[in-house]
Amino acid sequence: MTNCLVIGAGIVGMTTALKLAENGNNVTILNCENKGQASNNAGGILFPLSPWNDSKSMQELCISGHDEYNKLFLRLSGDKKKSINFTKSNILMFGKNLLSARKWYRNNNFVEIEYNDDQISNKEENIIINHKESITIKNINLVDPRKLLKFLHEELENKNASFMQMKVEDLNLFLKHPENNKYDYIIVSAGAWSNEILNDKKVFIKPIKGQTMLFRTNKKIISNTLLFDDLYIIPRGDNKFLIGSTLEDVGFDESISYEAKNIFDQALSKLFSPSIKILEKEYFFGFRPFANQKPYICKSKNDERIIYNFGHYRYGILTAIASAKIVDSMVS
């Protein structure tokens, strides 16, 4: 039996670990306990939000992830779907990226698209912004990322995977410990912190901070998920909605910024009638691993036992299931 250590307990790491365990490998997951893990603070839209800005390889990984999730959800029982808050939603898209979106979707026909030339208010009655063109992207999968992490943890426990928690600051030192020689493969999936562990001078990765706001209103304001300009709003049930996300090149700054709060407040006041009252607000942040348009999913050139699986940037949840298959093929 092959012994695999997965460093990183976010959705990319946990999905990879589950794929390896399902195929008969002995798996240990090491949780590095980093604050601001992107998985805990993501929107959970299993669809590329702006693929026209992404590299061809990232687009292909996103499409593969989209297809793999469709297969997965066909296999899951109703109770398991409910446990991760799996839903399907139409995405109503409008604003400055509409022209780029139209062009991309016409050339990449992998989802059902409806082109609208009537007022946005005809689709969502509480929106007051005056836009006459929009796109409806039909039947997109959504999950709650935190519930998905819990689900992955339970599935791994059922596969007899092991878990441990510790801070790994230098993988070379970690591997010199006699107890760690038992691993045939070490998969590094520690997101934005991955190269702090590896210290590989040929790897470029940095954190891009994303802030979101969960808010509750006095009534239901939208039925569709909205994608406008560079923001999204996702219905979460019970008159709660998630708006996000910022993209901030500020290192590992853990503060909730005034600028982010202002972006969200201005967007909501621009979109919705003054009769919509916001009753509660809660802010979150996460550090996305930016790797210059292309994730690292490969074996280390320095050590064949070490496999890189990080740098998925804004699409960690969407592409996790596709990159897990690639890693599994390296281990098999």
At 230-276, the pLDDT tens digits run 999 999 999 999 999 999 999 999 999 999 999 999 999 999 999 99
Average pLDDT, the chain: 93
Q: What's the pLDDT score for residue 227?
A: 96
Report the chain's C-alpha Rg in angstroms: 20
CA pseudo-torsion sign 68, 74, 80, 86: positive
Q: Which residue has the tokens 């708006």?
A: 243
- Are 235 and 222 spatial neighbours (Cβ–Cβ below 8 Å)? yes
- Exposure pattern of 160-193 as b/e (b: 16+ CB <10 Å)? ebeeeeeebeebeebbeeeeeeebebbbbbbbbb
- Are 200 and 188 spatial neighbours (Cβ–Cβ below 8 Å)? no
- Are 272 and 127 spatial neighbours (Cβ–Cβ below 8 Å)? yes
For the chain, percent of residues with pLDDT exceeding 70: 100
Residue range 22-49: mean pLDDT, rounded = 91
Q: What's the pLDDT score for residue 120?
A: 87
Show me where the domains of the chain are located: 1-86+143-205+292-332, 88-139+206-290
Q: Residue 1 corresponds to which tokens in the numbers above?
A: 């039996």
Q: What's the pLDDT score for residue 1?
A: 84
- By C-alpha distance, which of 123, 66, 248 is closest to 256? 248
Multiple choice CATH, 1-86+143-205+292-332, 3.30.300.30, 3.20.10.10, 2.40.110.10, 3.40.50.720? 3.40.50.720
CA distance 167 to 190: 11
Q: Residue 29 corresponds to which tokens in the numbers above?
A: 């997951």
Class in CATH terms, 88-139+206-290: alpha beta
Residue range 209-217: mean pLDDT, rounded = 97
145-244-295-76 Cα dihedral, nearest 10 degrees: 30
Q: Residue 79 corresponds to which tokens in the numbers above?
A: 């109770």
At 154-195, the pLDDT tens digits run 999 999 999 999 888 889 888 888 887 889 999 999 999 999
Task: Reply yes or no on whether the pLDDT at 332 is more than 80.
Answer: no
Q: What's the pLDDT score for residue 293?
A: 77
pTM here is: 0.94
The end-to-end CA distance of the chain, in Å, is 11
For the chain, percent of residues with pLDDT exceeding 90: 82
Q: What's the pLDDT score for residue 159?
A: 96
CA distance 65 to 313: 14
Q: How confident is the model at residue 36 (pLDDT cuts 50, 70, 90)?
A: confident
Task: Reply yes or no on whether the pLDDT at 313 is more than 90.
Answer: yes
- By C-alpha distance, which of 169, 163, 140, 153 is closest to 39? 153
- Are 135 and 123 spatial neighbours (Cβ–Cβ below 8 Å)? no
At 83-117, the pLDDT tens digits run 999 999 999 999 999 999 999 998 888 889 999 98
Q: What's the pLDDT score for residue 255?
A: 94
